[in-house]
Amino acid sequence: MLTICLLPGVVAAALVPFSSDISYNNGILQGTNSTALTTAADSPPINLTTSPQYFVANATVYNSSKLAGNLEFPPASYIGFGLDMTSTMLFDLKSTKEHVLTAWCFFKYDLQRAEKKLLPGSNSQYWMVPDVMGWNTDVSQYDSNYETYMNGSATKEALRAGGSASGRYEVVTGGASVDVGIQTMFHDQYSYALFEAQQQSLQVRILSYGTLINDDSMENQIASLPPFDKGDKFSLRSYRSLFETSGTHIITEVSYGARLSLCVWAENKDSSVAESFSSDVNVAFNGLVTNGKFDAHLQAEKQYQNFAKSMAKTSSCTGGNSTLAAAIGNNPAGQHIWEQFLEWQSSVDENPAVTGFTTQPLWNLVKSSNNSKYNHMWTDIEDAYEYIASHPATHFTNCRMIVNARSGGLDLLSPEAFVAPDPASPVPNGVILSSTKIYYEADPDTLPQDLPTDVTIDFIIKNYSPTVDFGLYHSEEGPPDAGNAEILVNILQPGNVYANNDPSVDIKQFIKIPVNPNAIDELSGQNQSTSVSPTATQSVSGQNASGPAGTFSTPIVLGQKPNPLVVSS
């Protein structure tokens, strides 16, 4: 069993998981009721909590001669809703879809004023497309790209608007303002690899959105905002709350087809790892990114073993044959991945799924409105976005991982997050802790009946977003006194426990998990550095260690005193 907990008032680490079934969203187990979020005790209340508005994506056909019954219009689940581009992952479609903010829809239109249209690649599947939507099927094309970068600076330069790879790998587009997230997503301490294979078959976009703005939603969210003042505590938190609740950018177009995306990163402080990074990625993913060709002998090299200790990735695959897409997205490093990919590639015209989003900045919508109660606020919103995006709040969250298994670990899925050991708590024997992952394995000579219980690793997550994505995995064998093998993480702030105790699930993903809300220096006008020194990879085998010299400096926690550690077994 592997358990990770984040508790209030404490500092925690960052994680990146391998993809699997997502069981949590916004920190809430699917199917449960969410609880209201509260601001820090010293913050004035912010009125952003009126009843959510949902556009039903099920249009009753108004002309029964065309079709009897109901037909769906799935793009209504996205168009008009927001993304917070200060924290949205640009290269992982699965994570991006989970980050769509559905509390408010900023477009208002009649789903019943619709026309029946045949979905590309199908002989029988129809959507009822509202008359305010553009429908473009003249976009069918297949494209595949793979590139590696020595460090974060080279990656950002290539991906920024106008760069050599701009728009090639991102699942969200919408001009230069969308790319602000890459400033905190890529760091010079890592080398990066990006791979995508895409078949686009359909684009659905809203036409003349300026005439369709939902004034009720817009006025409720914006009219009561104070003027933006970066030095004012309440003003800054008001705009942060607006972006976290409603988004910085609003979806105006959804693309459909098939898409495989892979983003890989690893520490580059070892020059031999940096020089061999591209070859190492080829080996790690069994030739997926290089037409099935790779040199397996590299796995025996010391530099490859160092690469593997810090290598992290996000992956998603959608559209085409759904069984193959799930298999590839969940395990792009599988033994037969190249054969699976070729088979999936031949099916990309089938079963169109979401492959990307086009957005407009929220301030453009505000400026387009004729409502004088809030349309003058567009400059404040733009100024707030530019400031907040360039001065990201730094979150430190204390975490505790508990392993009841022969082996288990945590992988970060958020590229802008880092893990470090807790300087106050020695790292146990058998633990490898890098800036991207934590892995524990009992001594191979340990008999099953002698496996230790409740192996505890205290660590810290540092990130620039109010949420983090991670995955937990463990071996099937656990200590006899612990029942099923399990791994838990206790995120000490805000005090939630996340567990993988299902022996049939190798890796469980946890998406948009809240971290310590008390960010550092978020209220000042001082420039916050986004340069981070992740901890050096640490392997502990025969002796305890107090943590590498590269750990984070002691964080200043605002607002609350630390709560006692509570671990759920």
Let me know: does 13 contact 420? Beta carbons within 8 Å.
yes
- pLDDT at position 87: 85
User: Which residues 6+ apart lie within 8 Å of 512 measured at CB?
Assistant: 24, 25, 26, 27, 98, 99, 467, 469
- Return the residue matching tokens 């602000």: 180
Compute CA 222 distance to the chain's CA centroid, rounded to the nearest angstrom.
27
Closest CA to 217 of 92, 350, 80: 80
Closest CA to 513 of 495, 500, 530, 535: 495
CA distance 10 to 560: 9
CA distance 224 to 250: 20
pTM of the model: 0.77
- pLDDT at position 482: 66
Q: What angle do CA 10, 12, 14 make, to 5 degrees?
A: 160
CA distance 288 to 283: 9
Let me know: does 443 contact 482? Beta carbons within 8 Å.
no
Compute CA 143 distance to the chain's CA centroid, rounded to the nearest angstrom.
24
| Cβ neighbourhood burial of 300 (10 Å; 0-12, 13-18, 19+) | exposed
Taking only the tens of pLDDT, the chain with its 569 residues reads 454 444 433 333 332 222 233 233 333 333 333 333 333 333 333 333 222 222 333 322 222 223 333 468 999 999 999 999 988 888 889 889 999 999 999 999 998 899 999 999 888 889 999 999 999 999 878 899 999 999 999 999 998 876 677 778 999 998 888 887 677 788 999 999 999 999 999 999 999 999 999 999 999 999 999 999 999 999 999 999 999 999 999 999 999 999 999 999 999 999 999 999 999 999 999 999 999 999 999 999 999 999 999 999 999 999 999 999 999 998 999 999 999 999 999 999 888 999 999 999 999 999 999 999 999 999 999 999 999 988 888 899 999 999 998 889 999 988 889 999 999 999 998 999 999 999 999 998 988 888 998 999 999 999 988 889 999 988 888 887 766 778 888 887 777 899 998 866 768 889 889 999 888 754 443 433 333 333 333 433 333 333 333 445 433 332 223 332 222 22
Let me know: does 368 contact 210? Beta carbons within 8 Å.
yes
CA distance 238 to 309: 41
What the block records as the tokens of 509 is 């993903």
What DSSP designation does 314 have?
E
Q: Compute how many other C-beta atoms are within 10 angstroms of the C-beta atom of residue 361.
A: 21
Q: Which amino acid is at 538?
A: Q
